[in-house]
Structure 1
């Protein structure tokens, strides 16, 4: 496309530099018309000075009739963009949680906290069974979702299952696998 445009502009410049009569038979009519046109169009701008308060009122009136930008509340919720947002959120939760726990583990001897494995296991064992189940499910849910959705993205990176129907279906499979595997991890070892 760029090379065609470059060729057209170059040809117009060559024809414009030569004096071509309109009665010449060497060129067809479009070439003659092109050769006789000026290279650039110019349009004189009609401007006027407007006082600042009047300019602001014109701008305010224009803003009143501008369309409002689309936002999430006008769209119907769909699986692909919901799961995409959840993938980012779970990634932030997991990485943020690891960084916070790692930093707390490093400074715990200085602050007198007991974050060694035996102390954490003993405090966790004292919790009621329902609380243990909820805590384990809450920790397993973002981890399993992010893992299953990561595998889904790896399949997409290979160029497979990227049609609209398969994206929705694989999203439903990821949700199901996430709930089942999170529940299994939460129940395991109780």
Structure 2
């Protein structure tokens, strides 16, 4: 065995003892991590719902479905109060969060509110505004 092969084997053994992702054990999770992931998830939910309804609306005449505005309004009006509130909250939460967090990201694109303290404050502000406005939209 040559000296080069021996050093390669030593390095391979050392790599087996290293943690896979030490940053996950070292750093404390921050609000920005969660909000970034949630922004992507809400974007997928909103766009997926938009495309699914759009396709259903296009296919409705061929399938005999009634997705006209009058039919949807009549169906929604027949819901019990708790179902109306739940349905409106289901749609308002991702919409308001994605909107407020999008405005936050647009502010960052201008180079403003990018200190650690401001990022934390704006992150929790987005969370608070999301819940308050979602509840208001669901109640109205």
SS in 2 for 1:91: helix
Which string of whole-angstrom CA distances, capped at 9 and with x for unpartnered residues, describes residues 111-166 of structure 1?
A: 11111111111111111101100110110000000000011111111111101111
Structure-2 residue corresponding to 1:184 = 136
1:109/1:72 CA distance change after superposition, 3 Å: farther
Q: Partner of 1:18 in structure 2? A: none
TM-score, L = length of structure 2: 0.85
Match of 2:16 in 1: 65
Q: 1:158 to 1:185 in 2, by over 3 A?
A: same
Decide which structure has the larger Cα Rg and report it. Answer: 1
Equivalent residue, structure 2, for 1:173: 125
Question: Which residue of structure 2 aligns with residue 137 of structure 1?
Answer: 89
Superposition RMSD in Å: 2.4
| Distance (Å, rounded) in 2 between the aligned partners of 1:112 and 1:71 | 57
Q: Which runs of 5+ in 1 are unaligned?
A: 1-44, 49-57
Structure 2 CA distance for partners of 1:71 and 1:90, relative to 1, 3 Å: farther
TM-score, normalised via structure 1 length = 0.64
Inter-partner Cα distance in structure 2 for 1:169 and 1:182 = 20
**Structure with greater helix percent:** 2
Q: Which runs of 5+ in 2 are unaligned?
A: none
For 1:165 and 1:62, the matched residues in 2 are separated by 42
